[in-house]
Each structure stands twice: as structure tokens, then as C-alpha cells.
């Protein structure tokens, strides 16, 4: 191993280390000259002129860049460093021959002679940031045998992204491939030289003994020491509470610390180590918006240059879209209001459109920056105008029908909340001592005319009654929310499964806490369907209050909490406890891509105090606090799709049915397509895990795996560590089950609740995010206004223009696939492992996903399956495995990456 570079604490050793460094530089300079001599000799006399064994290698890397451009300043400094004798060196570590000269008690692999990365100056990379390849030649020491790892030392000024290293002709072994995909900073930033291992997986007990010390040391580096502010070049994964959302210096932005307490439990997020605020030592200091772009996330977890470029493009475009309607509103009679649906539709009309044709194509082909390509894309959307959401493309009014309102609970953006009604009237689980009687006030006479002549009990037995129940989670917050400009109800919605397989809403209960005291229970109003008169206006408003509830629950719980937040602890624990050599690390790693970065961004601009989510959703400053209360009931095993469906009464176990489940609603697109994807994931995970774990004892004796699972429970999800539902990790089946859940949540579940946001919510009246007025009471001016102009009352009730634009802008960005997305069944590098059987199993997985996609396409053509497209004529595509970039409404990325 190379010795550490000079630090402030080692001043006395500076002279000695300087001499050491000079010696190393001299040795490596000689090596560089040897390489040059060898090249000339080979050209003149042929390769057999020299008696040494030569091994040729190729390094693929990407130099430091800014968006799509190479960092020219960094390139100049790097070249100046090279002229001064600086370089990048590579030194192989033997997996088969020990270093007998070491004074350590632990045997390590023998180190080969360092080789210099050749032609750094003369290798000219294109203007746009891309791959550069370099030759490396080694005077091969036969005592190295099989190289199991290599050390890389970067003596240049700037970092670079090391992608792969391939040796073509290792004596006795042939081709040896290393998949690196990591940023390498200048050596002065590290206490130990960077190490990369060959892309073969080993359980800890099967690791070549000579590589084991390196394996263990690398994990120690990744865990860090738990103290101090983390800098961008550090590679530390550690935990922290959500104590960086509020600002104690601003009374309106004070927020509780979320996580680490019985009152506010929460998953952990990545630690940054920023200092606390002066006023509150428990709160981490915040950064300005510009500074937050550099908030610490382990460098390899940060967005790639293409994704950063895409995000900048989306941001620039969002500014145009947001400002234009706001300027227009200034000249309007009712500032910050949509006066009519025509006002809303103006968002999608006009804009600055470039003419299509050869000129447009030539511009796109010749502009290198992804950011500019995005701004002039040709998907039909004009600059400064929003894309027309799918929900109004085919029909401008179908979104408001009862049929579509109900269908979106099965195939919309939040298809994970609807449940089978198991008892009537519905009951509450809220503490009666705190909230009084919160049971439902819906009775038989409210719904009997919709029951096809049957009794309620008969409908329950026939499993034809369903409920969307947002009552209990919201009721404890209704008074606090209604003390602000928002005005909401806690809602319950009953639905009937009709003979054609579609759902029909038959009653909506709107509940408020008792005005005298919350302990006195709920005051509720039951609304039923109506098509004419003021009753029709009231029914439409009742559906609106449900849509507002569902929008908040979807964004805070189904989307943020149940995918983004709960997965981050798995990302951290995997990097801290599972070596890159571990097969489970290799299995899960693609499903963690960009998650820490997107969550960091969310903490800065979305879920923070005064952030976009607080400004646009009815939950306001209680948003993350509310999701913390829901997290108390989060159960990891229940995130498995089959278990979730059974618990919600949407399926029953049936060994004679496909996937062992019989759906309660046969045409439930999310469940139908989801079970296909779930089954494919589980089969792939089973094939993979059984290759490495052939018996249960191997799982029990896997020290890294056991340490990983313990840390997930006790640290990452530490507030729930005492829960008895945590599954064991003692058998191969346990590994398969737990990994399948992690992959499902990271990929398919996130896709199902994320990429439909703009197709359905891009038209604010369909999924308003807040309501500003309660239901008008008879004999009031508001009630009279509802009689005269129900559309105007509706628009005065739902999200106003400013918040609508913020919300639409946000969900359009969240619903887009970036240009560097990697989808389920794909890998960043095709040679991600040297093990042939897992590669075959992964290929089988990819083929299965293609078959599933073809099956979904055919299902969407079957007009008998009305829930798959509904009155709005939107086919259910959210669980298509693949997609192109952009706003497609389909595609399952590997990870929670947006």
C-alpha cells in the first residue's frame, strides 16, 4: 500500500514523507520511460525483442465535466501537472500470491509494479463530456498470478470518473475485467489509495484470503468515523435524523426534528455533518438554494452529468412556464384565480414552437448540450407552455364523471389506497378518549338505492363494496389545517363494484371535529350522487374534497414516505456493511442509483419548511409531521405486493390462480400488471441468490449479510427496531423475500405512483392539491352562488392559480424520464459480473419483462377491460417496463431516481 499523504497532524514526518514521495515519483517516472522504450522497441524490433511478459490493458474513464462540457480549466491544470511529472498510476493486487515482505501479521496480496496511465495529454476528448480510453501496459510479474484488485493513485489536480479497466491477456487467466463506476479524487484527498476489485462476487467466507484485508478496510472507509462535516470527496455513508427541514431563526419555519423519538419516528437520511444552528443545537443549519446544490451526498451517489443537464433544462423551462401565466394574471380582474376552465386550458395552448423539418432536426443533432436539446425538443410542447395532460387529451370533460373518479383509484396515480369494505358502517381506529366517536355516519338508507336491490350485508358477502378511507390519518390534523387558509374534511368514500367490473361511487362522508371539543367526536355530512340542480354541485364538491385528500396522501405517503424515505436507509446500510464484492451488494446496487441525491434535493426545495410541497398541498407545515405519524404503522413485509393486496382485501390467496392470488376486482390494472412484474422480479432474485447460497447455513454464517440486516433494523429504521414483524434473515428464502421487496419498492412501486402524476394531475381540476372553502350551507350567499354558477364555486374552492402552477411545474419535472435513465432488466455495464449463471438469469429476466410488456399492450387493446382506459381513454401503461426519455407515462426505472 502507498503511505498516506502529508497531513497537518504529521508535520514532524513531512521531510521523511517528501523523500518517500520523491522516490515513488522517480520510480514511476522510470516506469513511464520504460513503457516508452518498450513501445519504440516493439515498433522497431517486434514484440519478441524484450523478454519480459507484457500485459495490455484499457482504462475507460470520463474527465471532470460541467453539465455536458468537459471542465476546460481542470483539463489545463491536469496537463500542467503532467508536464511536472504528475500522473495516474495503477498497481495490481494479487488474489493468489502473498506479499511475503510485509511486516503485518495478516497476509495480503502481492503488489505489482505501478503502471502509468499513458497519453493523458495527447488523448483529446470530444467537447461534450464522454468516455475516453487509455492504454496501460504492464511488465507482468508472474508472482502476481490472478489480479483480484488494483490500487489507483491520482496525482493530477482534478477528479475523474473511472468506468472500467480491462486486461486482455493475463497469463494463465486471459481477460480480466474490473467495473469501477466511481469518482477518483486527487490522492491528497484520501488517507488510503483508492481500491477497485475485479467484478466477481464472493461471500465473505469465500473471499480469497489475500483480498480479505482490503475488503474489510474498504468498508471501514465507507463507514467513516461519525463526526465532522463531510466534504464532497469523502466516501462516507452515515445516518442522520430529518433535522434539516426547519429554520429556528424564522418563527414561521420552525419544524420539529423528525426521527429519533416516539412522537416523530422516521427512516434515517444520509448524514452531511453540517454544524447546528445557534438557536437550536438539535437543528442542522440550512444552506442557501445555490449552496444546496453542493450539499454533501457521497460523490458516487450524485447525478451524472446528463441528469444534471436535464434538471437544469427542466428548471429553465419551468421558469418560463410559471412566469408567463403569472404575468398574464396581473392584468386579470381576479388575480391568482382561474376564472373559468378556459383559463386553465390556456396553460396548454400556444407557446413558442420551433418549426419542424430538416432545420429543426439539424439543430438538435448539432447542439451538444442535453440542456439545449431539451429546450427545443419536438414532442409537441411549445416553450413556456405545458404539455397537454393525457386526462383531457381525448375528452375535455370525461375527467369529471363518477366513472373516472372511481377508476383512478384502480388505475390512476394512487392505486394503492382503495380497500374492500369489510364492515358496515365503517369504523375508526382513532383513540376515542382523544377524539370521541369517529365511526362512520353512513347508513343503509344513504346507499340502498344503488345496491341493485340487495341488502348491504349481501353486498358485503359478495365483496362488492369498497372504500377509500382517508378519515383516520387526517382527522387529528383537520382543526390545525382549517385554522390556515386551507379548508378540508376527513373523507370516506364508498364504492360499488358493478356487474361490468367498474366501480361507482355511492356515498361520500365529509367529517369535521366537533366545534366545541375534539373529544366530542366528529360532525359528519353524507353526500350521495346527483346529476341535476344544486345537489349535483354539492356532489361534485364532495368528490373534490376526496381528490384533495387523496392528492396529499398520495404525495406524502404513497410516494414520498413509502418509496423515497423508506429506501434511503437500505442504500446507506448496503454501502456500509456489504462489500462491493458481496453478491447482494451487486444485486441491489442498481436499485439505489440517484436515490440519495434526489432525496437530498427534496429536503432542500420540496419537503423543507416553506418548500414547494408545503406551499402547494393542504397539509402545509404539518406535511412531514403527518407522514411521521403514518410511518408508525409502516411494516416492511407488508410492502410485498401480494401481501399488500391481501391485507387491503383486494385479493385472496388461491393456489389455483395465477401468482397464487385471486383478485377481488378482476380488472384492477395496477394489481394485474404489478403481479406480473413482482413475479418476474422474484424469479430473477431467486435464480441469483440460489447461485451464491446453496444452503441456509451459508446465510446464517454470512457475517456481512447479518451485520447489514441488523443495521437496517437498528439504525436505518431504528425507531421501529423493537417491532416483532421484522423478518428474520436465516434462510435462502428470507434473503430472496427481503431483496424482492427492496427491488419492488425501488422500481415498480415507485414507477406506479410517480410517472402518472402529470398525465392525471397536470390538469389541476382533476387532482387539486388543496381546498379553500368548506361546503356551502343552505340559505347562505355561497349556497346561492353554487346554484347560479357551480363552475365558479368549484374554481374558488380548489387550488388557486399560483399554487396550481407550482404544483403542475413540480409534477411535470417529477414525471419525466431523464436521458440517462436505466430501466428494470437493464444494467449500466453488460459485464457487471464474471459469474456466467447470474448473467444468464439476468438475460432471462430481461426477456420476461419484454413478454410482460407485450401482454400489457394486448390487455390495453381489450375493450372489455374498461378500467384499463376508462372515459378519459388513457391506457394503463405505468407498469410498462421500458420507456423513452421524456414525459411518457410509462417505464420502470431501476431505482427511486426522480
- Where do the H-state alpha helices sit in 620-726? 623-631, 641-647, 669-692, 696-700, 703-711
Checking phi first, is residue 693 left (phi over 0); if not, alpha (psi -120 to 50) or beta?
A: beta
Which of the 8 DSSP states describes residue 765?
Answer: T
Q: Choose, from 87, 305, 564, 717, the residue flagged as catalytic.
A: 564
Catalytic residue among 447, 508, 584, 898: 898
**Percentage helix, strand, coil for the chain under 3-state DSSP, each rounded to 5:** 45, 15, 40
| Distance of alpha carbon 65 from alpha carbon 72, whole angstroms | 8
The C-alpha cell that represents 82 in the structure block? 503532467
**Is the link from the previous residue into 452 a cis peptide, with omega within 30 of 0?**
no
Active site residue 894: no
87 noted as active-site residue? no
Q: Within 10 A of 466 (CB to CB), how many other CB atoms are there?
A: 26
Cα 171 from chain centroid? 43
- From the candidates 559, 589, 659, 717, give the one annotated as an active-site residue: 559
- Residue indicated by cell numbers 392505486: 415
Of the listed 599, 754, 766, 894, which one is catalytic? Answer: 754
To the query of whether residue 750 is one of the catalytic residues in this protein, the response is yes
Rg (the chain; Cα; Å): 30
d(CA 267, CA 565): 6
Q: Give the contacts of 534 (CB within 8 A, at least 6 positions apart).
A: 783, 786, 787, 790
Q: Are 811 and 762 in contact (CB under 8 A)?
A: yes
Q: How far is the CA of 303 from the CAs of 75, 151, 422, 607, in angstroms?
A: 21, 25, 46, 20
Q: Show the DSSP H helices in 606-658 as ranges.
A: 612-616, 623-631, 641-647
Q: Please say whether the beta carbons of 666 and 859 come within 8 A.
A: no
Alpha carbon distance 344, 801 (integer Å): 9
For residue 832 the three cell numbers come to 457487471
Three-state SS string over 714-733 comes to: HHHCHHHCCCCCCCCCCCHH
Indicate which residue of 750, 811, 867, 894 is catalytic: 750
Q: 306 phi and psi, to 5 degrees?
A: -65, -40
Would residue 754 show up in a list of annotated catalytic residues for this protein? yes
Strand partners, 284: 276
Determine the Cα–Cα distance for residues 858 and 855; give it in Å rounded to an integer.
Answer: 5
3-state secondary structure of 275: coil
- Between the two ends of the chain, the Cα-to-Cα distance in Å is 39
Q: In this structure, how many other beta carbons lie within 10 angstroms of the beta carbon of residue 656?
A: 6
What grid cell was written down for 48? Answer: 519478441
Report DSSP state, residue 746: I
- Nearest C-alpha neighbor of 508 from the set 540, 475, 464: 540
Q: Quick check: is 392 catalytic?
A: no
Residue located via cell numbers 502507498: 2
Short-list 471, 799, 420, 359, CA closest to 618: 799
Close Cβ partners of 293 (under 8 Å, ≥ 6 residues apart): none
**Separation CA 465–CA 470 (nearest Å):** 16
Check: CB of residue 456 under 8 Å from CB of residue 448.
yes
Q: Which residue, among 560, 558, 841, 806, has the nearest Cα to 681 in the 3D structure?
A: 841
What is the torsion angle, in degrees rounded to the nearest 10, for the CA atoms of residue 693, residue 694, residue 696 and residue 698?
A: -50
Nearest-angstrom CA–CA distance, 603 and 606: 6
> What is the three-class DSSP state of 183?
strand
Catalytic residue numbers, as ranges? 559, 564, 750, 754, 898
Amino acid at each position: 500500500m502507498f503511505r498516506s499523504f502529508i497531513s497537518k497532524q504529521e508535520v514532524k514526518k513531512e521531510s521523511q514523507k517528501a523523500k518517500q514521495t520523491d522516490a515513488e515519483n522517480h520510480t514511476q517516472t522510470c516506469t513511464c520511460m520504460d513503457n516508452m522504450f518498450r513501445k519504440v522497441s516493439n515498433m522497431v524490433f517486434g514484440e519478441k525483442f524484450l523478454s519480459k511478459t507484457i500485459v495490455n490493458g484499457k482504462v475507460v474513464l470520463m474527465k471532470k465535466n460541467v453539465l455536458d462540457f468537459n471542465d476546460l480549466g481542470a483539463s489545463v491544470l491536469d496537463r500542467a501537472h503532467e508536464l511536472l511529472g504528475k500522473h495516474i498510476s495503477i498497481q495490481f493486487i494479487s488474489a493468489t500470491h502473498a506479499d511475503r515482505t510485509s511486516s503485518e501479521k495478516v497476509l495480503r496480496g502481492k503488489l505489482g509494479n505501478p503502471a502509468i496511465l499513458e497519453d493523458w495529454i495527447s488523448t483529446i476528448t470530444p467537447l461534450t463530456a464522454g468516455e475516453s480510453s487509455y492504454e496501460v501496459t504492464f511488465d507482468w510479474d508472474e508472482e502476481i498470478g490472478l489480479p483480484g484488485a488494483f490500487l489507483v493513485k491520482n496525482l493530477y489536480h482534478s477528479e475523474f470518473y473511472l468506468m472500467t479497466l480491462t486486461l486482455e491477456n493475463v497469463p494463465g487467466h486471459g481477460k480480466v475485467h474490473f467495473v469501477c463506476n466511481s469518482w477518483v479524487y486527487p490522492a491528497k484527498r484520501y488517507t488510503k489509495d483508492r481500491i477497485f476489485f475485479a467484478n466477481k462476487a464472493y461471500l465473505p467466507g469465500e473471499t480469497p484470503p489475500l483480498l480479505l484485508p482490503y475488503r474489510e478496510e474498504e468498508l471501514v472507509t465507507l463507514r467513516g468515523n461519525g463526526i465532522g462535516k463531510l466534504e464532497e470527496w469523502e466516501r462516507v455513508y452515515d445516518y442522520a435524523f430529518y433535522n434539516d427541514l426547519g429554520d429556528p431563526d424564522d418563527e414561521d419555519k420552525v419544524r420539529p426534528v423528525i426521527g429519533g423519538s416516539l412522537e416523530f419516528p422516521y427512516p434515517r437520511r444520509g448524514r452531511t455533518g453540517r454544524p447546528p444552528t445557534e438557536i437550536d443545537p438539535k437543528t442542522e443549519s440550512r444552506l442557501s438554494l445555490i449552496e444546496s446544490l453542493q450539499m454533501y451526498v457521497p460523490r458516487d451517489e450524485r447525478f451524472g452529468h446528463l441528469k444534471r443537464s436535464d434538471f437544469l433544462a427542466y428548471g429553465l423551462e419551468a421558469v418560463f412556464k410559471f412566469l408567463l401565466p403569472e404575468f398574464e394574471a396581473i392584468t386579470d380582474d381576479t388575480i391568482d384565480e382561474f376564472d373559468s376552465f378556459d383559463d386553465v386550458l390556456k396553460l396548454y395552448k400556444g407557446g413558442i414552437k420551433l418549426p419542424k423539418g430538416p432545420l429543426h432536426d439539424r439543430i438538435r443533432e448539432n447542439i451538444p448540450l442535453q440542456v439545449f436539446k431539451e429546450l427545443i425538443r419536438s414532442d409537441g410542447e411549445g416553450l413556456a407552455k405545458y404539455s397537454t395532460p393525457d386526462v383531457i387529451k381525448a375528452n375535455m370533460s370525461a375527467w369529471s364523471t363518477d366513472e373516472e373518479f372511481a377508476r383512478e383509484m384502480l388505475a390512476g396515480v394512487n392505486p394503492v389506497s382503495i380497500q374492500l369494505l369489510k364492515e358496515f358502517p365503517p369504523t375508526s381506529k382513532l383513540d376515542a378518549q382523544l377524539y370521541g366517536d369517529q365511526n362512520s355516519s353512513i347508513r343503509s338508507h344513504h346507499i340502498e338505492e344503488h345496491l341493485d336491490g340487495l341488502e348491504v350485508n349481501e353486498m358485503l358477502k359478495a365483496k362488492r363494496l369498497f372504500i377509500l378511507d382517508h378519515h383516520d390519518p387526517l382527522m387529528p390534523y383537520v382543526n390545525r389545517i382549517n385554522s390556515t387558509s386551507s379548508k378540508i374534511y376527513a373523507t370516506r368514500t364508498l364504492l360499488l363494484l358493478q356487474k361490468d367490473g367498474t366501480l361507482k361511487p355511492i356515498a361520500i362522508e365529509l367529517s369535521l371535529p366537533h366545534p366545541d371539543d375534539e373529544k366530542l367526536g366528529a360532525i359528519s355530512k353524507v353526500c350521495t350522487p346527483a346529476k341535476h340542480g344544486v345537489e349535483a354541485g354539492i356532489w361534485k364538491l364532495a368528490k373534490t374534497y376526496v381528490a384533495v385528500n387523496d392528492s396529499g396522501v398520495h404525495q406524502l405517503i404513497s410516494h414520498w414516505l413509502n418509496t423515497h424515505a423508506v429506501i434511503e436507509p437500505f442504500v446507506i446500510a448496503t454501502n456500509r456493511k456489504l462489500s462491493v464484492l458481496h453478491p447482494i451488494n451487486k444485486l441491489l446496487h442498481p436499485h439505489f442509483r440517484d436515490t440519495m441525491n434526489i432525496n437530498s434535493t427534496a429536503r432542500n426545495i420540496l419537503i423543507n419548511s416553506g418548500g414547494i410541497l408545503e406551499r402547494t398541498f393542504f397539509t402545509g407545515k404539518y406535511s412531514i409531521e403527518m407522514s411521521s405519524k403514518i410511518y408508525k404503522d409502516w411494516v416492511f413485509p407488508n410492502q410485498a405486493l401480494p401481501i399488500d393486496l391481501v391485507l387491503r382485501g383486494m385479493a385472496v390467496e388461491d393456489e389455483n390462480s395465477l401468482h397464487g392470488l385471486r383478485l377481488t376486482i378482476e380488472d384492477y390494472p395496477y394489481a394485474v400488471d404489478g403481479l406480473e412484474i413482482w413475479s418476474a422480479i422474484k424469479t430473477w432474485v431467486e435464480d441469483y441468490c440460489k447461485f451464491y447460497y446453496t444452503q441456509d447455513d451459508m446465510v446464517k454464517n454470512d457475517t456481512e449479510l447479518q451485520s447489514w440486516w441488523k443495521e437496517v433494523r437498528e439504525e436505518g429504521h431504528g425507531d421501529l427496531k423493537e417491532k416483532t414483524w421484522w423478518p428474520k434473515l436465516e434462510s435462502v428464502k428470507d434473503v430472496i423475500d427481503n431483496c424482492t421487496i427492496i427491488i419492488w419498492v425501488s422500481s415498480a412501486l415507485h414507477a406506479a405512483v410517480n410517472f402518472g402524476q402529470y398525465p392525471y394531475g397536470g390538469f389541476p381540476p382533476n387532482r387539486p392539491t388543496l381546498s379553500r372553502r368548506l361546503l356551502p350551507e343552505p340559505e347562505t350567499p355561497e349556497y346561492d352562488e353554487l346554484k347560479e354558477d357551480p363552475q365558479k364555486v368549484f374554481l374558488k374552492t380548489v387550488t388557486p392559480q399560483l399554487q396550481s402552477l407550482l404544483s403542475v411545474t413540480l409534477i411535470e419535472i417529477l414525471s419525466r424520464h431523464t436521458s440517462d435513465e436505466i430501466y428494470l432488466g437493464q444494467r449500466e455495464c453488460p459485464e457487471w459480473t464474471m459469474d456466467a449463471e447470474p448473467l444468464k438469469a439476468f438475460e432471462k429476466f430481461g426477456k420476461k419483462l419484454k413478454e410482460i410488456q407485450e401482454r400489457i399492450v394486448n390487455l390495453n387493446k381489450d375493450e372489455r377491460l374498461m378500467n384499463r382506459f376508462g372515459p378519459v381513454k388513457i391506457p394503463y401503461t405505468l407498469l410498462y417496463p421500458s420507456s423513452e426519455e421524456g414525459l411518457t407515462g410509462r417505464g420502470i426505472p431501476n431505482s427511486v431516481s426522480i
